[in-house]
Amino acid sequence: MPPKTKTAFFCQNCGVESPKWVGKCPSCGEWNTFVEEVIVKTNNKQTVGSNGQKPNKPQKISDIETSEEKRYNTQNNELNRVLGGGLVPGSMVLIGGEPGIGKSTLALQIALNLKNHTTLYISGEESAQQIKLRGNRLNSDNDRCLIVSETSMENIFSHIKNTKPDILVIDSIQTLGTQVVESAPGSISQIRECTAQLLRFAKESSVPVLLIGHITKDGNLAGPKILEHIVDTVLQFEGDQNHMYRILRATKNRFGSTSEMGIYEMRSNGLREVSNPSELLLSSNDESLSGVAISASMEGMRPFLIEVQALVSTAAYGTPQRSSTGFDLRRLNMLLAVLEKRAGFRIGTKDVFLNIAGGIKVNDPAIDLAVIIAVLSSSMDISLPKEVCFAGEIGLSSEIRPVNRIDQRISEAEKLGFKHIFIPKNNSKGLDTSKFKIKIHFVSKVGQVFQTLFKQ
């Protein structure tokens, strides 16, 4: 019997299905997000298990055998760190990011670096000749990397059957379409069905699948929210095209931590791994300038030092301006209120501009102390000693709260040649200061740091 065709309405934001159009989505609450799509319902009622042969049987948790998954080494240390050690067989990894940020470049570098494995690189956006030109710019070659330009899922599975790849790369999921669904590629139903087919293939064949996904103008991954639920790992490629650095973060990872971060430098010959980001994020200017403070920050298990730049000036238009780049603006307003109320510094009538050097975004609360010191340095126009760095979270009563992994922060500062570091007093418990050559200052209030640095 031929398949039955019908139409349904799908929410473009969360992917929920409705038999008729509704103004407000009952699932996510967004307005005017439902679009009509043509779908095909098949009459296949066969019940199969995950292996496609027979249904799975319930087992006791004590009877389930486990073994350490052998991962594929991507030959990319930054990516391996974010993934939790490498690509897990049968996993699905989704990489999202702004257009032109380097998603396709990263995927092609991975495919070309895996010289011991057969990789099938499927592109729905570029021709094979365009990918070859990018490969020439990367100065890398791999005869086991197979390239094909295709958007039909039926043809893709035919190529997979003929080549039997060890790793599959899809660039991008929004360009694929299947005959099972009659809507256009990139629609909610097409993305959901194509991803489901690739998921079944990955789990049945134990071949890792690397997907590249588009994002919306709000920065979210395009397509239904179920796309992020289906895949095992979601990686976000961040950065500004005007800066050379790129940040790779994991927002979801079933096989590792989501707190790790990889740093790359975009060059004409591709993405270069940044093994020591501290040296690149710190300024090499020998001239001492006011408004610059160094913070010992952490991203997951990785310590690095970043430069906080602040500019405080008299408000020229009556209403003070507050601007922040790479740091939460609401957090900046809170810190300025603490300075005004608790520490007695009058900066309510001044413009305050804050910037994290290198174009990166930092969420570590331990950067608070460096932010406040940079603001005070610029307000008083007094430069800080270049061999001083800071680590501490600021509370609403101006107290300096303890931060995690203080040993690693101190070691990173000492390795880069800093002579002094200001850390919270409560972090002194259990800390062996004898193994560090750097002078450690334990402080509990913002006023103590101010008196020590500015001799007031």
The CATH number of 281-454 is which of 3.90.650.10, 1.20.1250.20, 3.40.50.1000, 3.30.230.10?
3.30.230.10
29 marked among binding-site residues: no
Give the CA angle between residues 167, 90, 301 to the nearest 5°: 90
* pLDDT tens-place values along the chain, 456 residues long: 445 567 788 887 777 888 888 888 888 888 888 877 766 554 444 434 444 455 678 888 888 877 667 888 999 999 998 998 899 999 999 999 888 888 999 999 999 999 889 999 999 989 999 999 999 988 888 889 999 999 999 999 999 999 999 999 999 899 999 988 878 888 888 888 899 999 999 999 999 999 999 888 777 887 778 888 899 999 998 877 667 788 898 999 999 888 888 889 888 888 999 888 777 777 766 677 899 999 999 887 788 899 999 999 988 777 889 999 999 999 999 999 999 988 888 888 899 999 998 778 888 999 999 999 999 999 999 999 888 999 999 999 889 999 999 999 999 999 888 999 999 999 988 888 888 999 999 999 998 898 888 875
Q: Could you count the other beta carbons within 10 Å of the beta carbon of residue 424?
A: 21
77-275 and 281-454 in the same fold: no
DSSP string over 199-245: HHHHHHHT--EEEEE-B-TTSSBSS-THHHHHSSEEEEEEE-TTSSE
Cα first-last separation, the chain: 88
Q: List the one residue out of 161, 158, 130, 157 whose CA is nearest residue 147.
A: 130
Domain 77-275 has CATH 3.90.79.10: no
- Going by C-beta distance under 8 Å and a sequence separation of 6 or more, which residues neighbour residue 291? 309, 310, 311, 312, 374, 375, 377, 378
- The amino acid present at 368, given as its one-letter code, is D
CB 230 within 8 A of CB 195: yes
Domain ranges of the chain: 6-39, 77-275, 281-454
Strand-pair category, 233-239 with 92-97? parallel
The answer on whether 424 is annotated among ligand-binding residues is no
Residue 181 has a CB neighbour count (10 Å cut-off) of: 21
Q: Confirm or deny that 26 is annotated as ligand binding.
A: no
- Compute CA 440 distance to the chain's CA centroid, rounded to the nearest angstrom: 33
192, HSE (Cβ side, Cα atoms, 13 Å): 20
The answer to whether 99 is a known ligand-binding residue is yes
Instruction: Give the 3-state secondary structure of residue 289.
Output: coil
How far is residue 165's CA from residue 198's CA, in Å, rounded to a whole number? 14
User: Which structure tokens are listed for 232?
Assistant: 């095992």
In residues, how long is the chain?
A: 456
Q: Is the pTM of this model over 0.85?
A: no
**Does 101 appear as a known binding residue?**
yes
Find how far residue 408's CA is from the centre of its chain: 22
3-state secondary structure of 453: helix
Q: Is 60 flagged in the annotation as binding?
A: no
Radius of gyration of the chain measured on its C-alpha atoms: 26
